[in-house]
């Protein structure tokens, strides 16, 4: 999330990180909503047909962006599976450093259950 935030700042976008978890919040990034839809479909969090999500990215950002988005999505999914499968712990300094992002996304609420 830190990379997303810093990238948005460098391109002059006014990014609200809460948009990642709430589709009602505009992303302020060109094609951002289409990209979020693709992620939701790929992770099984949406009933929208995959072809519709793919076509929305092609219509908004072009076919090259769909290839890039699929590659990024696949890479993140792979990295998460490796981290979870090997039990890689998250160092406390990483948690402390990302506390603003953790709070913005409401991740502490997930832990507290």
Cβ–Cβ < 8 Å for 52, 38: no
pTM above 0.85, yes or no: no
Tell whether the model's pLDDT for residue 105 goes beyond 80. Answer: no
Best-predicted range by mean pLDDT (72-76, 85-89, 107-111): 72-76
14-67 confidence digits (pLDDT tens): 888 888 777 788 888 899 999 999 999 998 989 999 999 999 999 999 999 999
- Chain centroid to Cα 46, Å, comes to 14
Helices (H), 11-105: 32-42, 50-61, 63-86, 92-97, 99-105
Instruction: Give the pLDDT score at 56.
Output: 97
> 3-class SS at 26?
coil
Which pLDDT score, from 0 to 100, does residue 111 have? 63
Cα 106 vs. chain centroid, distance in angstroms? Answer: 14
On the question of pLDDT at 100 being above 90, the answer is no
Q: How far is 84 from 82, CA to CA, in rounded Å?
A: 6
């Amino acid at each position: 999330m830190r990379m997303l935030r810093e990238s948005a700042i460098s391109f002059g976008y006014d990014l609200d990180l809460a948009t990642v978890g709430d589709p009602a919040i505009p992303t302020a990034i060109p094609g951002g909503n289409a990209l979020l839809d693709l992620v939701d479909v790929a992770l099984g969090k949406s009933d929208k047909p995959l072809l519709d999500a793919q076509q929305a990215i092609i219509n908004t950002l072009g076919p090259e962006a769909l290839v890039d988005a699929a590659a990024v999505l696949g890479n993140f999914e792979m990295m998460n599976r490796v981290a979870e499968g090997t039990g890689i712990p998250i160092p406390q300094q990483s948690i402390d450093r990302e506390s603003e992002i953790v709070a913005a996304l409401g991740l502490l609420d997930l832990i507290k259950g």
